[in-house]
Structure 1
Amino acid sequence: MFDPTIYENLKVVFEGAVYDLDLDGQIVVVHRSDLIDLASMSRSYLIRFRMKDGRSWAELRLSAELLDMAGEKLEWRNVLPGCRLELVFGLTLRNPVTACKNIQDIMEQIWGRDTTIIQTLSFRYGDDGSRCHNEIGVIFERKIGESQVADIPDLLEHAVATLRQLEPYNMEE
């Protein structure tokens, strides 16, 4: 009998929880990807969603490396298997200097001051820089496993709350 890995179990739970929110009409799933990298023998899954009438998006990224999967399957005692989780939010800003400070405050209020929040700004060459794309990463420093499954609804609730708070800053046309 096939025994799924931590990665596969978490992926199924995340995907089901996100699609339940989509079915309830709270969000709209706009992209999904499930990849196996044969060069590094790693797995990655992402699912992107936005509010029904929103333009800002959230992307949940789950990944597992070869060492995690091999350690789990071969039951190595010196390897703590698990997955990496990252949430990324995206929106287009005008006046990024002011907006980014406000966004940082929102992110810290929702996710806590101990969570690593990284804002990455980009704009097209030739533009004046007054309008730019902001990708906001919420980085979880530790691996997650099946013992965190009960936290997934709260995590997604925080993601939806974050989208609601970020939407007024989105100036995409």
Structure 2
Amino acid sequence: MFDPTIYENLKVVIEGAVYDLDLEGQIVVTHRSDLIDLAVMSRCYIIRYRLKDSRSTAEIRLSAGLVDLAGEKMEWKNALPGCKLDVVFSLPLRNPESACRNIQDILQQLWETNPTIVQTLSYRYGDDGSRCLNEIGVHFDRKIGEGQIEDIPDLLEHTLRTLRQLEPYNLEE
């Protein structure tokens, strides 16, 4: 009989919880992908969504590499299989110098578990940089497993709260 991996179980729970929010009308799912990289034998699941009437997005990225998958399937005695989970927020903004400081403070308050928060700004060559795209990565420094499945609704609630807090910084065109 087929025994799903930690990655597959987490992916199903995350996907179901996100689509439940979409069906309730709280969010709109805008993208999803489930990738297998045969060169390094890894898997990555990405689902992106936004609040209704908003351009800011949240993206959940779940990934597992060869060592995690093999350690779990082969039941290696010292293996600590699990998945990497990252959340990435994306929004167009104006005046990045002041906005990014405020955004950093907001995210550090909202994400109490002290993940690493990295903001990456990009703009088109030739523009003055006063308008740009801000990708805000919330990176957790540990793997997750099936023991954290019950935390998924809280994680999604945090992403919704973050999207609401980021909305005033969203560049209106």
Instruction: Give, in whole Å, the separation in 2 of the partners of 1:64 and 1:172.
Output: 37
Instruction: Give, in whole Å, the separation in 1 of the partners of 2:13 and 2:113.
Output: 27
Equivalent residue runs for 1:7-86 within 5 Å:
7-86=7-86
Partner secondary structure for residue 34 of structure 1: strand
Residue aligning to 1:6 = 6
Displacement over 2 Å in runs of 4+: none
Partner secondary structure for residue 143 of structure 2: coil
TM-score by length of 1: 0.98
Equivalent residue runs for 1:100-115 within 5 Å:
100-112=100-112, 114-115=114-115
Unpaired runs of at least 5, structure 2: none
Instruction: Give, in whole Å, the separation in 2 of the partners of 1:131 and 1:116.
Output: 25
**Cα displacement string for residues 53-73 of structure 1 (whole angstroms, at most 9, x for unaligned residues):** 111000000000000000000
Partner secondary structure for residue 121 of structure 2: strand
Unpaired runs of at least 5, structure 1: none
Partner secondary structure for residue 134 of structure 2: strand
- The count of aligned residue pairs is 173
Instruction: Give, in whole Å, the separation in 1 of the partners of 2:77 and 2:166.
Output: 43
Matched, 1:137 2:147: no
Instruction: Give, in whole Å, the separation in 1 of the partners of 2:100 and 2:113.
Output: 16
Tell me the CA shift for residue 160 of structure 1. 0.3
Tell me the CA shift for residue 113 of structure 1. 6.7
Amino acid aligned to 1:40: V
CA contact (8 A) 1:27 1:49 kept: yes
CA contact (8 A) 1:91 1:172 kept: no
CA-based RMSD of the aligned residues comes to 0.8
Residue aligning to 1:164 = 164
Instruction: Give, in whole Å, the separation in 2 of the partners of 1:115 and 1:87.
Output: 10
TM-score by length of 2: 0.98
Residue aligning to 2:94 = 94
Instruction: Give, in whole Å, the separation in 2 of the partners of 1:37 and 1:114.
Output: 30
**Cα displacement string for residues 37-65 of structure 1 (whole angstroms, at most 9, x for unaligned residues):** 00000000000000011110000000000
Tell me the CA shift for residue 116 of structure 1. 0.7
Amino acid aligned to 2:95: N
Distance verdict in 2 for CA 1:127–1:37, change over 3 Å = same
